[in-house]
């Protein structure tokens, strides 16, 4: 498929590394002007340079603000008043015993994983609706459906994103704006290799190690390996394009078959 996003501006929250950076690269490669976001100027500049070196002629805007705060979203809106594509990728995760997660930690996870996305959508959706075209995506997780006992606070925050996505899709009904969530499965991102080698034989080559990890610890996966960030980015780029004009209010899976369901 030929995806041309020339003339479109895309803001990807939390896009200095991992899935977010892969999405920014994918959108830039399709011709979109990309707004790279992170809290630290050094990290944002490094990600922007990665995109410029990988996609010759890429138009990249550096947005070093803490998007997880009300002040950060207000600053983002001031610096980038309108976007055509909004990808809510920012998120935190961490393992902790269910009964040990404090109120403060619950609030933090909802503030970063849910409310940041709500604020950004509230900030940018009205102009999309007025223009009659726009794309909003939320990067969710298989944990939204298969709640992990070792981090239920993370899983519940991702479950909330599915409801947020469906609700805003209804708010944008009939306007030409689509709103979807993307359910990402176990992904090969920063730190994952160290985590894998904590659980399998350290002498194994990486390809064998990850397959052993998946066999022992993520046996539900039908592809038997970790997903590469670019594979998630491919779906987001499609959803961000005119080709996905009839897909809205959906929770679309790119999980390697991890979620045991015949429904999307």
Q: How far, in Å, CA of 110 to CA of 152, rounded?
A: 12
| Active-site pick, 138, 154, 238, 258 | 154
pLDDT digits (tens, 9 = 90+) for 229-251: 999 999 999 999 999 999 999 99
Same domain, 58 and 69: yes
Identify the CA nearest to 206 among candidates 175, 238, 228, 184: 228
User: What distance in Å separates the CA atoms of residue 237 and residue 48, rounded to the nearest whole number?
Assistant: 18
Q: Indicate if 124 belongs to the active site.
A: no
Q: Judge if 157 and 97 occupy the same domain.
A: yes
Q: Do 84 and 66 share a domain, yes or no?
A: yes
Which is nearest to 63 in space by CA: 74, 53, 54?
A: 74
pTM of the prediction? 0.96
Which tens digits make up the pLDDT trace of 114-123?
999 999 999 9
Q: How many domains does the chain have?
A: 2
In a domain, 257, yes or no: no
* Domain that residue 211 falls in: 189-220
Say if 216 falls within a structural domain.
Answer: yes
């Amino acid at each position: 498929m030929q995806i041309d996003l020339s003339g479109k501006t895309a803001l990807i929250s939390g896009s200095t590394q991992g899935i977010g950076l892969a999405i920014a690269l994918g959108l830039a490669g399709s011709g979109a002007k990309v707004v790279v976001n992170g809290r630290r100027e050094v990290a944002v500049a490094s990600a922007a340079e990665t995109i410029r070196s990988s996609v010759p002629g890429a138009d990249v805007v550096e947005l070093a603000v803490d998007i997880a705060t009300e002040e950060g979203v207000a600053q983002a809106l001031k610096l980038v008043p309108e976007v055509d594509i909004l990808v809510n990728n920012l998120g935190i995760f961490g393992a902790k015993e269910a009964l040990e997660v404090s109120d403060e930690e619950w609030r933090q996870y909802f503030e970063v994983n849910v409310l940041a996305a709500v604020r950004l959508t509230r900030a940018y959706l009205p102009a999309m609706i007025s223009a009659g075209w726009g794309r909003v995506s939320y990067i969710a997780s298989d944990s939204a459906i298969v709640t992990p006992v070792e981090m239920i606070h993370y899983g519940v925050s991702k479950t909330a994103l599915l409801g947020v996505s469906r609700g805003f899709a209804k708010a944008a009904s009939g306007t030409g704006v689509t709103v979807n969530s993307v359910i990402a499965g176990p992904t090969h991102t920063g730190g994952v290799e160290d985590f894998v080698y904590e659980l399998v034989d350290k002498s194994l080559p990486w390809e064998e190690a990850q397959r052993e990890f998946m066999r022992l610890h993520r046996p539900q996966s039908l592809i038997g390996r970790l997903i590469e960030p670019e594979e998630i980015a491919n779906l987001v780029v499609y959803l961000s394009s005119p080709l996905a004009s009839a897909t809205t209010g959906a929770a679309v899976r790119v999980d390697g078959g991890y979620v045991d369901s015949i429904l999307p």
